[in-house]
């Protein structure tokens, strides 16, 4: 069952019971410096830096409260703010509870000739308790080896469990998958399906506060 609340996320999070969320998987504003417009809705993704970090810190503190003792949080960001949010998450969730980064790498989209084009996003992943968190290794999908001739025929046929860099194309402009929510997104459902299978169990509660 999926429930969507159209409300201020911090206000709604304060109504949730402490420790009631098993997995937080969220895609917040990136503070890109642009107004995001889609159909008849828009939001300003251009906050003053300190204001943005304070907003994220306040939401993440509430996320820590509502996350279950064996829960995990994944926060997706791009290069604009990921390093600053990482510092705040270290303070809130504890550096020792940092599981690592997952890099979603993709192609297509706009290109620049001023520098190497930014074609990746980063998930910052923390456990509430590094000694007690859900990770269903056997439920993770497999993917082809990039150099199958190096691993042998049997392994090549089986494929490998993904590592911390996930190559997956963006969702096409005209795809129905792109238009599921209030704003068009190029993030494929496969990313979120993999995370949910790995870091939650049947009957768990998963939250995206953004």
Rounded Cα distance between 44 and 29, Å, is: 9
Rounded Cα distance between 147 and 181, Å, is: 37
Cα 186 to Cα 42, 49, 60, 80, 205: the distances in Å are 17, 25, 24, 18, 25
CB 204 within 8 A of CB 23: yes
Report for 46-50, 115-119, 131-135: range of highest mean pLDDT: 131-135
**Which pair of structure tokens corresponds to residue 126?**
């923390």
Task: Rounding to the nearest 10 degrees, give the CA dihedral for residues 188, 78, 51, 17.
Answer: 40
Which residues face 67 on adjacent strands?
21
The predicted structure's pLDDT at residue 171:
64
Q: Coil, strand, or helix at residue 12?
A: helix
The predicted structure's pLDDT at residue 161:
93
pLDDT digit string (tens) for 139-186?
Answer: 999 999 888 888 888 888 999 999 999 998 776 555 565 555 555 566
The predicted structure's pLDDT at residue 186:
67
DSSP 8-state secondary structure symbol assigned to residue 89: H
CB 196 within 8 A of CB 25: yes
Strand stretches in the chain, DSSP E: 21-26, 34-38, 41-45, 67-77, 98-105, 120-127, 165-167, 206-207
Give the DSSP letter string of 152-185.
-HHHHHH-B---SEEE-PPPPTT-GGGGSSSS--
Query: Percent of the chain having pLDDT more than 70?
Result: 90
Given a cut of 70, is residue 39 above it in pLDDT? no
The predicted structure's pLDDT at residue 77:
95
The predicted structure's pLDDT at residue 17:
97
Given a cut of 60, is residue 27 above it in pLDDT? yes
The predicted structure's pLDDT at residue 146:
86
Give the pTM: 0.88
Mean pLDDT across 4-23: 94
Given a cut of 90, is residue 111 above it in pLDDT? no
pLDDT digit string (tens) for 47-106?
Answer: 788 999 999 999 999 999 999 999 999 999 999 899 999 999 999 999 999 999 999 998
Rounded Cα distance between 166 and 103, Å, is: 6
The predicted structure's pLDDT at residue 4:
87
Burial of 106 (0-12, 13-18, 19+ CB in 10 A): middle
Confidence bin at 189 (pLDDT 50/70/90): confident
Rounded Cα distance between 208 and 56, Å, is: 14
* Residue 77 dihedral angles phi and psi, to the nearest 5°: -145, 165
């Amino acid at each position: 069952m999926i429930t969507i609340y159209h409300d201020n996320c911090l206000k709604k999070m304060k109504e949730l019971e402490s420790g009631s969320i098993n997995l937080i998987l969220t895609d917040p504003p990136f503070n890109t410096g642009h107004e995001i417009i889609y159909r008849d809705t828009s939001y300003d993704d251009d906050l003053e830096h300190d204001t943005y970090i304070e907003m994220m810190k306040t939401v993440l503190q509430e996320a820590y409260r509502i996350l279950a003792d064996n829960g995990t949080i994944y926060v997706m960001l791009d290069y604009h703010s990921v390093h600053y949010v990482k510092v705040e998450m270290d303070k809130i969730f504890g550096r020792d509870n940092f599981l690592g980064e997952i890099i979603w790498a993709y192609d297509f989209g706009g290109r620049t000739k001023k520098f190497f084009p930014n074609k990746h996003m980063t998930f910052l992943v923390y456990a509430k308790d590094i000694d007690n968190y859900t990770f269903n290794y056997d439920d993770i999908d497999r993917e082809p080896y990039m150099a199958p001739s190096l691993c042998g025929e049997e392994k090549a046929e089986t494929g490998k469990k993904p590592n911390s860099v996930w190559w997956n194309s963006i969702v096409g402009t005209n795809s129905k998958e792109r238009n599921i929510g209030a704003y068009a997104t190029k993030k494929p459902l496969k990313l979120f399906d993999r995370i949910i299978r790995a870091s939650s169990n049947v009957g768990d509660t998963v939250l995206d506060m953004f």
